[in-house]
C-alpha cells in the first residue's frame, strides 16, 4: 500500500503580496514623517530603518520591488498630503506607525 501525503503550500504570490504591503506601509510611514514633520534622515537613520523594515519582511522583497514600493509610497503620501493635509486621519495612521515602531530604533 502506498501512502500519500498532502502538503498545503501558500498560494503563490500571496505571501509576497502581504510582505510587499508591509514594506509599502513602512515606506509610507517614513515618507509621512519626512513630509509632515520636515524630517531629514541621515545615513545612520536610513541604515537602521532599512535593517528594521527588512527584518519585518524577512528579507523577501527584492531590490527592484523595494525601489518600486518606495516610489509608490512617495507618490501616495505626496498626493494624500496635497489632497487632505498632514492633519488627516490617514496621515495620522502612518505617523503613528513611525512613532511607535521606527522612531525608537533611531533613538538608540
pLDDT score of 14: 59
pLDDT (mean) for 22-26: 98
Please check the confidence at residue 3 and state whether its pLDDT lies above 70. Answer: no
Tens-digit pLDDT profile for residues 49-60: 999 999 999 999
C-beta neighbour count of 8 within 10 angstroms: 4
Could you state, in order of their start, the residue ranges of all structural domains in the chain?
23-106
How far is the C-alpha of 7 from the C-alpha of 75, rounded, in Å? 41
Given a contact cutoff of 8 angstroms between Cβ atoms, the answer to whether 69 and 10 are in contact is no
Average pLDDT over the chain, rounded to whole?
A: 90
Q: What is the pLDDT of residues 36-85, one digit of tens each?
A: 999 999 999 999 999 999 999 999 999 999 999 999 999 999 999 999 99
Contacts of 1 (CB under 8 A, 6+ apart): none
Q: Cβ distance 48 to 65 under 8 Å?
A: no
In 51-89, which positions are buried (b, 16+ CB within 10 angstroms) versus exposed (e)? eebeeebeeebeeeebeebbeebbebbeebbeeeeeeee
Amino acid at each position: 500500500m502506498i501512502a500519500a501525503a498532502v502538503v498545503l503550500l501558500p498560494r503563490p504570490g500571496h505571501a509576497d503580496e502581504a510582505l510587499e504591503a508591509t514594506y509599502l506601509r513602512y515606506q509610507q510611514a517614513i515618507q509621512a514623517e519626512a513630509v509632515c514633520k520636515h524630517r531629514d534622515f541621515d545615513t545612520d537613520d536610513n541604515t537602521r530603518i532599512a535593517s528594521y523594515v527588512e527584518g519585518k519582511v524577512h528579507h523577501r522583497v527584492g531590490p527592484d520591488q523595494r525601489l518600486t514600493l518606495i516610489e509608490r509610497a512617495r507618490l501616495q503620501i505626496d498626493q494624500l498630503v496635497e489632497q487632505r493635509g498632514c492633519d488627516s486621519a490617514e496621515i495620522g495612521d502612518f505617523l503613528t506607525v513611525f512613532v511607535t515602531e521606527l522612531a525608537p530604533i533611531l533613538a538608540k
